[in-house]
Each structure stands twice: as C-alpha cells, then as structure tokens.
Amino acid sequence: MALALDRRPLGKTGIEVSAMGIGSSPFRHGAAADWVGLLEEAYDCGITYYDTARSYVNGEAVIAHLPPSVRDGLIIATKTGARGGPHCLRDLQASLRTMGRDHIDLWMTHMVETMREYELCTELGGFCDVAVAARTAGLVRATGASFHAPTEVILRAIEERAFDVVMFPFNVLGRETVFGAPISDYRDRLLPAARANGVGVVVMKVLAGGEMKHGAPRLGFLADPATGQDTLSGAIRYALMQPGIATAVLGIANRTELRRNLAAGIGVGPDPEACRTLEARVAVASPGECTRCAACLDVCPEGIEIPKVFRLLDQDRFFGMTGIARFKYARMQPDASACARCGKCAEVCPEDFDIARLLQLAHVRLTQATRPAGSRQTEEENTHG
C-alpha cells in the first residue's frame, strides 16, 4: 500500500484534514488564475487543507477558478481581520462571493495579538457571536482564530472554548515566535490544553516564517541524507510528528517546493520520541543567553527591540542563518548601536548576563547588510513558511 499524507481530525469539528496544508500568502504575485495549477496539483497529491484570508491577494479569488471537484473537495479556511460587528459579517459575505461557495469550512478572525483583542472577539456582538450565528445558519462549519500572541492569551481562548480551532506559530527552532511566548511553551502547555478541551490546532511558520529557506547550515542534523531529505524537510517532519497538531500550513510558491514538502510529509504520523530527540539537539546547538521573555521590551529609553536583536544574533551564531539575520538587522531602527549602557534592561531581566556587551557583539556581527541570495520575499510575505 502506497504511503500518503496522514489524515487527522480537526478537534471536535467533525472535519478531517491532511496533516500538511497549503497557505496562500505566496499567491499575491500575478493573477489569481495563475495559481490554479499549483493548487490542483497539491489537492491531487493529498493536500486537502487550504489556508487564506480576506487580506491575502488572490488567496480567495483562486478558489472560484478551480474545477468544482477540487473547489468542493478542499477544506477551506479563510479569515477576517475584524473582531466583530457589521464589518465582520460583510467580510464573511464577501468571502463567500469571491470564492463562489455557499459555505466556509473554517472561518477565523485573523492575527489576535493581545488579551484585549481576544476579549473583543468574545464580547456581545463580537466575532464569536457572529461566527456561531453563521455556523447555525450553515454558512460556516467551524470557527477559529489565528494568534500571534503570548501563551496566556491563547491558553485562555482554549480553556474557554471560544473557538473550535486555534492557529499559532510552531517550529523546531524553539524560541522563534512572539516575544514572551517561546514555542516550547506552546508545545508543552497549549497542545495538551487543546486536546483536553477538544479544540483543533493548526500551526504556521513551520520554517520560521520562511527564514529557514535562506539556509540554516548548522541545523544539518535535521536532514536525512539516506532519503535525500534536506534541513527544510526535517523541519517540516518535526511539525508533522508533533502530537496534537491537526495540520501544519506551509506557504508553497511553486511545484518544486510542493514536491519537496510532500516528500518530507508522506507517511509521517505523530512520533513524540523523535520530536524529543530533535528538540534536545536544537537546545544543545543554541545555548543563547536570552530567552525572549520580553521583560525588557518596553524599558529601553533608546527604543531598541532587544529580544529581536538577540533573536537575529542567535540565528547567525548558532544556526548559520547569517544572510537573513544581517538583512533583517539592517532594517532595524534603532539598532543595537544605540545602546547607552543605562542598565534599565538589566534591572528587569530574569537572566544573569551582560546585555549591553551582547548588544555590542550583535552589532559587530550583524552590520553587514546582506540580502539573501535570490530572495524577492519580504518579511511580510513569509507568512506561513
């Protein structure tokens, strides 16, 4: 029997999804019809979960161009940026018209970042009220929210069962997510809570927002030369092996990426032991001083985003992601050279290291403003990789 992509239940929604999903953020280039062939091939190869949003150029429009057998066979998730009110309902109606469908499988509110934004969703007339009414009317099969938020915000949403599905960043790099919310926290707290409450989990940023595509040579242990799988393939397999994740969304821009991702994901199911092995190896490889707890984020008088500087420094010195780290550092204003050594960050930092000295080291290492070779993607375009 030929191996195929794993199929998994999406929480208690009654919806089954492929373990790997395709994200539409790369579809912003060209016209919607240009992406039909790639989406059809992905579906024919077993990828049934498709992620888009009202704000993604071409993302919804491409659905209307698909043959009915593909359009109706996909599990389609789309998002509104609204937290409630009339605009929220207008987005739902516009999404249905644009896609040429009579329902949406998973309708989500997009990029919830703070506790206050979450509370807006749950207040009277908020997204949750609108989404439940839409579900009752048959316009929506399940409700959800995508989060770029601290652990406590997402945990509250899960425990209150405000949504049928939650979506958040998850990747093997461990600390590479929202400041104040390490991925280890997401793994060890959110995934068990979601299982306990019957909430489906969709993850994104499996390749650190696409940053790993520009090279991570010191993570070579993620590769499997015997099967021809590279470091990116190993990072994809890690997300697919993680128990509790229904589907991992990857932004796929061409057939080469599609086939590479499929080769990595075919036949992969939950494997907690393999996950723990990879997590331990990454932890040993990246013994950075900063945990990205974000305690210092708003205390610097000069406005330096200290956790972001250290994130880029660690990518450079531990993972070999030098090109993308230097490129992003060159866009920081102010950068680490603005440090006045006032010591205010040290007063709130729970770790014991010389922050000012490490900022100086970061500036020295990252001041070569290098754009990754062959890259046309911006930081914003790497939404789901």
Question: Which domain CATH number covers 100?
Answer: 3.20.20.100
**Domain for residue 385, yes or no?**
no
End position of a domain, from candidates 279, 297, 314? 279
Q: How far apart are CA 265 and CA 374, in angstroms?
A: 26
152 lies in the same domain as 212: yes
129 lies in the same domain as 16: yes
End position of a domain, from candidates 217, 244, 279? 279
**Domain for residue 291, yes or no?**
no
Tell me which of 172-186, 227-241, 307-321, 337-351 is least confident: 172-186
Number of domains in the chain: 2
Sign of the CA dihedral running 39, 42, 43, 49: negative
75 lies in the same domain as 223: yes
Q: How far apart are CA 164 and CA 190, in angstroms?
A: 14
Tell me which of 74-83, 178-187, 299-308 is least confident: 178-187
pLDDT of residue 179: 77
41 lies in the same domain as 160: yes
**Domain for residue 32, yes or no?**
yes
42 lies in the same domain as 160: yes
pLDDT of residue 3: 77
Chain-centre distance for alpha carbon 303 = 26
**Domain for residue 17, yes or no?**
yes
**Domain for residue 284, yes or no?**
no
For 378, the token pair is: 């911006």
221 lies in the same domain as 320: no
**Domain for residue 301, yes or no?**
no
Per DSSP, which regions of 243-377 are E strands? 247-251
pLDDT, tens digit (0-9, with 9 covering 90-100), for 354-381: 999 999 999 999 997 444 444 444 433 3
125 lies in the same domain as 201: yes
81 lies in the same domain as 229: yes
Which residues form the domain of 255?
A: 7-279
pLDDT, tens digit (0-9, with 9 covering 90-100), for 41-50: 999 999 999 9
313 lies in the same domain as 269: no
Q: Is the per-residue pLDDT at 347 higher than 90?
A: yes
pLDDT, tens digit (0-9, with 9 covering 90-100), for 77-127: 999 999 999 999 999 999 999 999 999 999 999 999 999 999 999 999 999
76 lies in the same domain as 177: yes
Say what the pTM is: 0.92
**Domain for residue 251, yes or no?**
yes
311 lies in the same domain as 264: no
Q: Looking up tokens 């995508």, which residue turns up?
A: 146
Tell me which of 79-83, 94-98, 294-298, 341-345 is least confident: 294-298
Q: What is the mean pLDDT of the chain?
A: 92
Question: 50 - beta bridge partners?
Answer: 22, 76
**Domain for residue 384, yes or no?**
no
142 lies in the same domain as 267: yes
